[in-house]
Structure 1
Amino acid sequence: MLHRQADGDFEADSVHRLRLIQFAHSRGVSNQQLEAATARQGDLLALYGELTPGAEAPADLARAAHDLGLDDVVVEELAEILGWDDLGSGTHADMTTLRTVAEAVELGMPRDALMQLMRVLADATDRLADAVLRTFHDYVHERFRAQGVVGRQLLEATQHVAGPALKLVEPALVSFHRRAYQRASREDLLRHLAEDTTAPSKTLGEERATVLFVDLASFTALTATMGDHAAADVLRRFGAAVRSSATRHGGRILKQIGDAFMLLFSEPADAIEFGLAVDRFADAESQFPALHIGAHHGTVLYREGDYVGGTVNLAARVASSGRAGQFLITEDLRDLAADRVDADFTLSPPRRLKGIHDPIRLVEVRRRSLERANRETDPVCGLLLDPDDVASWITWRERTFAFCCDMCRHAFVEDPGRFVTVHEN
């Protein structure tokens, strides 16, 4: 598996190939398994060498950092962020990173801010690289396998598509970054314009913003009943609606965990308009779960590409406290935006939310243009059903229940009390 030249010396890529072999060993793969896979599929190790260093001599990063004027603390932080296990065997790319950091420090960039940026870039590129390779493996390579392609032909077919396509990733990344930078620059302009009317914050990273959470009210039940593929299709439709609505209403998706999205809005009214838009989408979709939507406006702390603090926690609690199909906001948010949004706002009595010390009055937001469609809720999967979507009905204990399919009906017949209890809670 390590190639030699005619004079017996190892080829330039041998160090990298050896590292791949050692990595495979660390995951329990033996030399025999590697050799068998190579015999069946071809030179697998060669696939993972395109972006790795060639015959360049390893660089001493600790010495280079000292020559550049970087102290040991900075080097240790960089090593932790970038996974530099051996400072004595750095690459040309590692040296470029060191020089960039040294230049930023010399220009006056505070070290804590610089390290935050490095962590954000490291996390983002790790996720990007993993997404690129997993997507090609799961949706290109596995598709060829399903078609019966095997052995070397399988590897060749995959590389015929993936090889040229992967070369487009870096140019696309630059293009996407430039586009995103333009959008972020507009928001930064607004922050500068607001300086004449706002005092400087005493806390670094402190901002005021509206945080909104939205999720599918019955996604766990839907997945358990209908299976992963059906649930994934619902999530795909939901995700597309969230992203398009966020773009239209000036929102930024900060994170997605399963079926839950966290978004940030600079303008309070935009957050409410977004919530109404995704609520309208769910109401119009056939056989789609109801949503939980909750939002709050207040002070947030920006840290390493994320936002934390009491405002975020409260917005999450507001979203989780509502019934299926409810859009809830705080009084603070209503007072800032109600006169700019075409919607009905209903104030509720004070209530306690988990993890929130004082009772709080929430406000339900409803669209004025259309009342929510008269739908039935499937007690098993939680889908909202129009009359034409109902596949069957069952009466149990003097109550009538609608079902989207025979699968849900059969599950209910086997244990009705389980689903009625879940639905009522």
Structure 2
Amino acid sequence: MTGPGEPDGDAGLDSSDVIRAITELMLGEAPHLKRADVAELSGVDPDVARQRWRALGFPEADEEDAAFTQADVEALRLTQELVELGIIEPDTEQPFIRTIGRSFARLADWQVRAFLGSMGADSQEEVAAGDLAELEKVVPLGEKVQAYVWRRHLVNAASRLLLTDADVDTSPMVVGFADIVGYTSRSRKMTRQELTDMVERFEEVTGGVITDHHGRVVKTIGDEVLFVVDEPKDAAALALELLEKHQDDEEFPEVRIGLAHGNVLNHMGDVFGPVVNVASRLTSVARPGSIVVDRDMAEHLRDDDELRLKRMRRTSVKGYEHLEPWSLKRPRGKDDPGD
């Protein structure tokens, strides 16, 4: 039996019903606090509270809108504790919060679409009250899995940084880009599902290979993945394996790869500096199904008998004149016809 004002379990809900029900489920109560209330209850300056809210990527609420809950108050308190403990420094606070907001926004969008798809619902109008009850069971499970993955990544990140004695944000490493060959032309001929399958396969395989060779995926940017690896030899093995995946797996697209070695600035999980730009430019000049590395990377690999390097013609690309690329391949076999 449903309570007063509650829709029947099999009835469809309109948009306002869905949003109200999801808000109460996710935040524990209906919004009833204004911006000034949240600032006062949390003990955080109103302007600071507003800046943090916007940095998370949420739309700004009007002064008189009762758009907040006690969960928002608690989140501000916890953030302030991190600031006071020195974990979040004043000059990095906004980038830190923006990074969290962007990461979870993308994750939440995917999760909601996946949940609606599992119910066969493509819109709010197709969501029934019974589906929201199912969501109530799913959310705690998702929270536990996300907390586990986060803790596991903390262990990996701490191990990587401590074992390399990294005490500064700038450190030498290999930056790589793997780019799907002919993505634009291929996508025009594919159905939406075929394109989704190809991109998912690309992300799945590249992520696995990069991790297997002690690397880290920094981010995926449409049809390419940006990754970093500490050791040049690991990066070379990684790139060669990725290149050969297309031969063994019809669902994995052909790629081209650019690698560059040097000092890189690590900031909020992303990487910056000339080395990143060089790796990107090398990818753009690589032929389909090939690997191109910079001179520094080639110097680190020159004496490795398990690899074959060949200097290519110098080239000029945006921001870099006379860039010196090298092709990277496996050693020539008996049946290899040569370059």
Verify same fold: TM over 0.5. yes
CA distance in 1, matches of 2:72, 2:280: 40
> By how many angstroms is 1:222 displaced?
1.9
Partner of 1:50: 25
Partner of 1:398: none
CA distance in 2, matches of 1:251, 1:260: 16
> By how many angstroms is 1:167 displaced?
3.0
- Assess, with a 3 A threshold, how the Cα gap between structure 1 residues 130 and 286 changes in structure 2: closer, same or farther: closer
- Assess, with a 3 A threshold, how the Cα gap between structure 1 residues 108 and 73 changes in structure 2: closer, same or farther: farther
Question: Residues 17-96 of structure 1: matches in 2 within 5 Å?
Answer: 41-42=12-13, 45-46=17-18, 47-48=21-22, 49-54=24-29, 58=33, 60-64=37-41, 68=43, 70=44, 74-82=48-56, 83=58, 85-86=61-62, 89=66, 90-96=68-74
Question: Residues 334-353 of structure 1: matches in 2 within 5 Å?
Answer: 334-340=298-304, 342-353=306-317
| 2:245 and 2:252 in contact (8 A); partners too | no
TM-score (norm 2): 0.81
AA aligned opposite 2:38: L
CA distance in 2, matches of 1:132, 1:117: 23
- Which runs of 5 or more structure 1 residues have no equivalent in the other structure? 6-10, 14-34, 146-150, 196-200, 375-425
Partner of 1:411: none
Among all aligned residue pairs of Structure 1 and Structure 2, give the percentage whose two residues are the same amino acid. Answer: 24
| 1:214 and 1:319 in contact (8 A); partners too | yes
Partner of 1:182: 155
**Helix, strand or coil: the match of 1:359?**
strand
- Assess, with a 3 A threshold, how the Cα gap between structure 1 residues 185 and 364 changes in structure 2: closer, same or farther: same
AA aligned opposite 1:180: H
Match of 1:106 among 72, 75, 84: 84
- Assess, with a 3 A threshold, how the Cα gap between structure 1 residues 324 and 56 changes in structure 2: closer, same or farther: closer
| 2:179 and 2:224 in contact (8 A); partners too | yes
Match of 1:132 among 101, 106, 111: 111
Partner of 1:294: 258
Question: Residues 210-221 of structure 1: matches in 2 within 5 Å?
Answer: 210-221=174-185
| 2:174 and 2:231 in contact (8 A); partners too | yes
Match of 2:326 among 344, 360, 363: 363
AA aligned opposite 2:84: E
AA aligned opposite 1:348: M
Match of 1:308 among 262, 269, 272: 272
| 1:206 and 1:302 in contact (8 A); partners too | yes
Partner of 1:390: none
AA aligned opposite 1:177: W
Partner of 1:171: 144
- Assess, with a 3 A threshold, how the Cα gap between structure 1 residues 125 and 288 changes in structure 2: closer, same or farther: closer
> By how many angstroms is 1:139 displaced?
4.1
CA distance in 1, matches of 2:254, 2:334: 14
- Assess, with a 3 A threshold, how the Cα gap between structure 1 residues 351 and 294 changes in structure 2: closer, same or farther: same
> By how many angstroms is 1:363 displaced?
0.8
AA aligned opposite 1:113: T
CA distance in 2, matches of 1:189, 1:281: 33
Partner of 1:396: none
Partner of 2:196: 232
Matched, 1:253 2:227: no
Higher relative CO (Cα under 8 Å, sequence separation at least 6) belongs to 2
CA distance in 2, matches of 1:40, 1:360: 65
- Assess, with a 3 A threshold, how the Cα gap between structure 1 residues 107 and 276 changes in structure 2: closer, same or farther: same
> By how many angstroms is 1:315 displaced?
0.8
Partner of 1:198: none
- Assess, with a 3 A threshold, how the Cα gap between structure 1 residues 74 and 219 changes in structure 2: closer, same or farther: same
- Which runs of 5 or more structure 2 residues have no equivalent in the other structure? none
CA distance in 1, matches of 2:62, 2:335: 61
